[in-house]
Amino acid sequence: MLLIGLTGSIATGKSTVSSLLSTPPYSLPVVDADLLARQVVEPGTPGYRDIVAHFGTDVLVPTAHPTMPETGPAGLGRPLDRPKLGRRVFGDDPRVREDRRVLNGIVHPAVRRAMFWGVVRAYLRGSWGVVLDVPLLYESELDRFCGTVMVVGVRDPKVQMERLMARDGHLTEEDAGNRVRSQGDVREKARRAEEGGGVVVWNDGDRAELERELEKVMGVLKERSPGWWEGVLWVCPPLAGVVAALGYIRNLRERKRWLEDEGKRRAKL
């Protein structure tokens, strides 16, 4: 089974590509890290309690919210107020970066566990491939486990900012810029994918152009990992384990090479 690590940056179209991959003609199972990240911090979960313990109850939806009356001790039945929490963790201030580190330390381990079981279920169903939809795939080092990385990117930074502000009307230009910068330059991610044997889906145009671009990229992946080979791996789990281990080693080497090259490049700036 081919594990496709799908990533990009905010407002580049990753969610649209994820949706396209989950429907015909591809019909691939999608393990969505954003969806899991919401589920692992729902009221009553350990992640929810840890977030409230660090950030306080002011990151919860107000008591007066018409659809969510206060319940439980200190109103802990209220869901997270995501825009308010986002303002606490997006930005370059040292304190904001520390809050982001704490939040990631709460959410990421729980999401990884849920993702693992999602991939196992896809394998047991005999899927040709599974999409691991992770916005911060490289940053969380989950690319180590992927058979290939697919980056959804835009060549023009203005397109990304315009899409984000059109989608999330409550964001100021400063808020939008902070969110874009917090996820890194998508063009760097695209370059990293191409140099590491991955693929890039460019999305500067309309949906029809995106669909054509995705069709071309999926054709490349099908050639690299044909269905008959995936069938062999499914009926022979030991061989699948060996292939996975070799891929993991290859990805570790590629990560090391990338970091060394980036260090040299930055030293010359």
121-150: pLDDT as tens digits: 998 888 899 999 998 899 889 999 999 999
150-171 residues labelled b (16+ CB within 10 A) or e (exposed): bbbbbeeeebbbebbbeeeeeb
pLDDT of residue 64: 52
Cα→Cα distances 10→14, 54, 79, 111, 120, Å:
8, 26, 23, 19, 28
pLDDT of residue 115: 92
Q: Is 14 exposed, middle or buried (0-12, 13-18, 19+ CB in 10 A)?
A: buried
80 pairs with which residues across the strands?
60
pLDDT of residue 72: 45
Tens digits of per-residue pLDDT, 19-29? 999 999 999 99
Q: Could you give the residue range(s) of every CATH 3.40.50.300 domain in the chain?
A: 1-29+129-269, 35-126
- pTM, to two decimals: 0.81
Residue 16 neighbours by CB under 8 Å, 6+ apart: 203, 207, 210
Angle value at C-alpha 81, between 75 and 87, nearest 5 degrees: 130
Statement: 35-126 belongs to CATH 3.90.1150.10: no
DSSP tally for the chain: helices H, then strands E: 11, 5
Distance CA 146, CA 3 (A): 5
Distance CA 69, CA 115 (A): 32
Tens digits of per-residue pLDDT, 20-63? 999 999 999 999 998 998 999 999 899 999 999 999 988 998 86
Q: Are 42 and 49 in contact (CB under 8 A)?
A: no
- Mean pLDDT rounded to a whole number for the chain: 89
Task: Report, as an integer, the average pLDDT of 203-214.
Answer: 96
- Residue 204: count of CB within 10 angstroms of its CB: 16
The answer, yes or no, to whether residue 86 has pLDDT greater than 60, is yes
Q: Of residues 199 and 227, which shows the higher confidence score?
A: 199
Q: Are 139 and 8 in contact (CB under 8 A)?
A: no
The answer, yes or no, to whether residue 4 has pLDDT greater than 90, is yes
What CATH class is the domain 1-29+129-269?
A: alpha beta
